[in-house]
């Protein structure tokens, strides 16, 4: 294997790992913070989506919201 091939295999492994770490795995519902700061993570599931809608409602009502990331 030449260097290029090694690099590319590595890239692919990295992409696959990133996808898993950021989008999969056990979700902690209380952990709205990162979901709000990183909008895309909000879309992960309906449950989370509903959570973030709740957060937005709270924002609108001026209630306290967990501090931002």
Instruction: List residues near other proteins by CB under 8 A.
Output: 5-6, 8-31, 33-49, 56, 67-69
- Least distance in Å: CB of 69 to other proteins? 6
Cα-based angle 47, 49, 51 (whole degrees, multiple of 5): 75
- Cβ nearer to other proteins, comparing 29 with 54: 29
Cα separation of 35 and 32, whole Å?
Answer: 5
- Least distance in Å: CB of 55 to other proteins? 11
Query: What does the DSSP 8-state code read for residue 25?
Result: S
Cα separation of 42 and 46, whole Å?
Answer: 9
- Least distance in Å: CB of 46 to other proteins? 6
């Amino acid at each position: 294997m030449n260097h290029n091939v090694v690099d590319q295999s590595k890239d692919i492994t990295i992409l696959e790992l990133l996808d898993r770490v950021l989008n999969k795995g056990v979700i902690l519902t209380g952990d709205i913070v990162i979901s709000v700061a990183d909008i895309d993570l909000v879309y992960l599931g309906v449950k989370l989506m509903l959570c973030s809608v709740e957060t937005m409602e709270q924002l609108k009502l001026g209630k306290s919201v967990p501090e931002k990331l």
